[in-house]
Chain A
Amino acid sequence: MRRRTLLATIAAVALATGAVSACSSSGSGSSNTITVAYENFGSFTQMNQLMKKVKAEYEQANPKMSVKLEPIQADENDYYTKLDLMNRSASTAPDVLYEDTFLVNSDISAGYLKPIDQYLSKWKDWSQFSSTAKSAGKGQDGKTYGVPMGTDTRGLYFNKQIFAKAGLPTNWQPKNWNDILSAARTIKQKVPGVIPFQIYSAKSAGEGATMQGLEMLLYGTKNTLYDPSSKKWIVSSKGLTDSFNFLHSIFAEGLGPSPQQELDTQWGTKVSTQGLPQSKIAIDLDGSWQSGNWKKTGEKPWPQYSKVLGTAMMPTQDGSSPGFTSMSGGWLLSVGAHAKNPQAAFDFIAMSLNKPNTLFYDNAASQIAERADVANDPAYKNSDPFTPFFTSLVKYTHFRPAYSDYPKVSDAIQTAMEAVMTNQSSVGSALSTFASTVKSDLGDSATTSQ
């Protein structure tokens, strides 16, 4: 009896001390401090540069306030995870966060973000953003949850020197998927030792595999991933099968990187800082931000990039209208739901994305400007020889069905891609696993086939 009482007392004391210490630690974020969480990883250092710059400017303009930067050292997938873990508790949730547009709806339903319409209505710069840009941070509830930093498009980079060696035209523009396959086959045959065609296909590439990889194929077929009229996810379609068959051809014929290269968590960084600059990759299906790595401020300065590399639009499967395809995403700055001083958090965002700072960031990170005044600025137009090309892709571009279930569908796609790339599953069985995973995640009624 005694023994039990004693243990109970100890337990009670333990819980009480725990509760007390938990209370005292939650007071860390005061209303005079703004915490800012963002990604800083591998070759992506431009955000860190911008945030350091704005911190100095903001603290000078608001002497009573201080800004606490929390750069998160993690690849894209782990960044989302770490950010979500921070958001789960009010004591660690950041006031300002760097948020991928495809996660907005998911994070709204999780209760991590604060609507900022009341602040935007008083921000005169907001009129500089196009309606498409404004919708990037709009939730399904019609409220706005973030200010876009810039957008992106996707297309093909190709190495003109390798193309010349292989006897291919240096003003290459494939008209359909077969043109890509035949160019890659020629390169494999004539220029051994280089990777003919790079396409992200591993789980470790995260959303990059889904968007730069599969969706660049799928949205060039007759099908997409989501049927807006029935509000269902399309888990099987001819387009999906064809896209995976294309992927299978690339890896089965040895036209892509080796599976181990793809599985390397550093593969994305290696493509930007080694594969392309060292002429080890002939064709790369990638995003418009790549040249940001090669500028003076980038991770791997490479002055000759625009002479060595050419760009080409990604064709549709069989060249049918409109002929080409692209995908667009982009990132926002959002206010966290637990922000103690949301006005100050918004002011920090407004300063980060005013004209000079947007110009600085969009140039450094090779973003496609979404502010009209930045887009028309000569300093932006002349900053990068590739800017006109990637901006022209906007007319072919598609947006992801960024509903709150999208991340789960995207994860299932990556798993299927990796299974096909490593040849552990046939296209058929990888796709049936994909369909059943999505069905068990979201429920049968949320999916359909075409």
Chain B
Amino acid sequence: MSASATTLTKSAPSPPAQRRGRARRGRSLARKVAPIAPALVLLLLFFAGPVIWSFYTAFTDQSLSGAGASSPRFIGLDNFRRMWDDPIFIQSLVLTVVFVVGSAVIGQNVLGMTIALLLRNRHRSVKAGVALVIVGAWVMPEIVAAFCWYAYLNPEGSLNHWLKAVGATQNWLYSAPMFAVILANVWRGTAFSMMVYSAALSDIPPDVEEAAEIDGAGGLRRLWYVTFPMIRRSIVTNLMLITLQTLAVFTTIYVLTAGGPGNKSATTPVYMYEQAFKFYNLGYGTAMALVLLVIGALFSLVYLRFVRVDEP
């Protein structure tokens, strides 16, 4: 990338040289693309294909059974109009935002940063021990982590077993379902933020902070005025990645509450699944997917804006 960028910024060469340069560039491009061709093929087949199909389906009354399955009709914006009038869909959007902000922007992000800061300059064995525990949660497949949390939180689960010893009891999966799924997702995803921040923090030259210390800056001021600005780019990147990841979380919520009780924890991905695969409204479900895609894009734009402001 950087090589081609420098060639492009060089002063304009004379016409024959330009032609030669283009041929060379073409060949070098071919050499660059060849290794990723198989991945590109797979992406086109299994990623672009379904995306295009679901884009089209969002404007039809395609369903899993019934007349909509054999001969779907093009119904224009009906699915989107229906969404607008569907109070459960609007509620699902609110719950999605609550879930993303609660579990990613606040939960994973702040906790990941805190752990990374606490681990700075610790003994290697402490670092390794803590990292092992936290990364362990991250390595676990989502479905396994979700089942662990179900076993832990359900009324006959291990948490209540221990709480009984002190005479307390909880029923969060039922009484506070959003809290329960946010908790589980923070537990699972914190490792990612922690690793990003640990790497970023280790890149800060120690003399910068030492200089600030000599100038008399206390711990918090040093953090705010020196450390954070220096890792700002990592913070934004991390926020963007975990937001997009969390926006699409389905398994954890589905296993823990299945969107229930009622629709109290039905975020958009869960509600979308229910409409498309339980209630057979494939068209309506894919239309929701499209809306979710737009929301993800908006979030990314906002974050990218942050990065650009900082560009030298």
A105: nearest chain-B partner, CB-CB? B66
B262 touches A419 (CB 8 A): yes
Decide if B69 touches A84 in the complex (CB within 8 Å).
Answer: yes
* B70 with A424: CB separation less than 8 A: no
For the complex, is B54 an interface residue (Cβ under 8 Å from A)? no
Jot down 22 A-B pairs with beta carbons below 8 A, ordered by A: A2-B29, A3-B26, A6-B26, A7-B33, A10-B33, A14-B40, A14-B41, A80-B65, A84-B65, A85-B64, A103-B65, A110-B70, A259-B174, A259-B261, A263-B260, A265-B258, A404-B65, A407-B65, A408-B280, A411-B278, A418-B260, A424-B262
Contact B44 A11 (CB under 8 A): yes
The one of A3, A7, A84, A204 in contact with B280, judged by C-beta atoms closer than 8 angstroms, is: A84
Tell me whether B262 and A418 are in contact (CB under 8 A).
Answer: yes
Name the one of A106, A111, A204 contacting B258, with C-beta atoms under 8 angstroms.
Answer: A204
Check B260–A203 contact: CB distance below 8 A. yes
Are A84 and B64 closer than 8 Å at their CB atoms?
A: yes
**Chain B residues whose C-beta falls within 8 Å of the C-beta of A84 in the assembled complex:** 64-65, 69, 280
Tell me the B51-86 residues at the A interface (CB within 8 Å). Answer: 63-70, 82, 85
Within 8 A of B (CB), among A407-450: 407-408, 411, 418-419, 422, 424-425, 433, 440-441
- Judge if B155 is at the interface, Cβ distance under 8 Å: yes
CB atoms of B22 and A2 under 8 A apart? yes
Binary contact readout B13-40 vs A (1 if CB under 8 angstroms, 0 otherwise):
0000000001001100110010001001
Contact between A106 and B65, CB atoms less than 8 A apart = yes
B262 and A404 contacting across the interface, CB-CB below 8 Å: no
The 6 closest A-B CB pairs, nearest first, are A110-B69, A14-B41, A111-B70, A2-B26, A424-B262, A422-B261
Interface residue B127 (Cβ < 8 Å from any Cβ of A): no
Number of interface residues, chain A, beta carbon within 8 A: 44
- Contact call A407/B66, Cβ cutoff below 8 A: yes
B65 touches A107 (CB 8 A): yes
| CB pair B66 A81 closer than 8 Å | no
Q: What is the minimal beta-carbon distance from A153 to any residue of chain B, in angstroms?
A: 26
Contact flag A109-B67 (CB < 8 Å), given A408-B279, A422-B262: yes
Which A residues form the contact surface with B (CB < 8 A)?
2-3, 6-7, 10-11, 13-15, 17-18, 77, 80-81, 84-85, 88, 103, 106-107, 109-112, 202-204, 259-260, 263, 265, 404-405, 407-408, 411, 418-419, 422, 424-425, 433, 440-441
Q: Are A404 and B260 in contact (CB under 8 A)?
A: no
**Chain B residues proximal to chain A, CB less than 8 Å:** 22, 25-26, 29-30, 33, 37, 40-41, 44-45, 49, 63-70, 82, 85, 87, 154-155, 171, 173-174, 258, 260-264, 277-281
Chain A residues within an 8 Å CB radius of B25 = 2
| Known pairs A14-B40, A84-B280, A110-B66 / 18 extra A-B pairs, C-beta < 8 Å | A81-B64, A81-B277, A84-B64, A84-B65, A84-B69, A88-B69, A109-B65, A110-B68, A112-B65, A203-B260, A259-B174, A260-B155, A408-B280, A418-B262, A422-B261, A424-B261, A424-B262, A424-B263
Query: With a CB–CB cut-off of 8 A, which chain A residues contact B174?
Result: 259-260, 263
Q: Are A405 and B37 in contact (CB under 8 A)?
A: no
**B residues less than 8 Å from A103 (CB atoms):** 65
Q: Which residues of B contact A14 (CB under 8 A)?
A: 40-41, 44-45
Minimum Cβ distance to chain B for residue A256 (Å): 14
Distance A203 CA – B261 CA, assembled complex (angstroms) = 10
How many Å lie between the Cα of A424 and that of B44 in the bound state? 44
Which of chain B's residues has its CB closest to A18's CB?
A: B45
Whether B37 pairs with A10 at a CB distance below 8 angstroms is yes
A293 to B73, CA, bound (A): 44
Tell me, in angstroms, the Cα distance from A13 to B44 when the chains sit together: 11
Within 8 Å by CB of A17, from B41, B82, B87, B171, lies B41
Interchain CA distance A10-B65 in the complex, whole Å? 37
On whether the beta carbons of B279 and A411 are closer than 8 Å, the reply is yes
**Chain A residues within an 8 Å CB radius of B40:** 10, 14
Question: Bound state CA distance, A203 and B37, in angstroms?
Answer: 46
Tell me the complex Cα distance, A2–B68, Å: 44
- Determine the chain B residues whose CB is within 8 A of the CB of A405 once the complex forms: 66
CB neighbours (8 Å) of B26 from chain A are: 2-3, 6
CA distance A322 to B279 in the complex (A): 35
A11 (CB) vs chain B CBs: closest residue: B44
Residues A260 and B45 in contact in the complex (CB < 8 Å), given A84-B64, A106-B66, A422-B262: no
Closest A residue to B64 by CB, please name it: A84
Chain A residues contacting B87 (CB-CB under 8 Å) are 433
- Kindly provide the distance from the CB of A446 to the nearest chain B CB, expressed in whole angstroms: 13
Determine if A6 and B280 form an interchain contact, defined as CB atoms under 8 angstroms apart. Answer: no
Q: List the A side residues contacting B45 at CB < 8 Å.
A: 14-15, 18
- A263 and B261 in contact, given A2-B29, A440-B82 (Cβ under 8 angstroms): yes
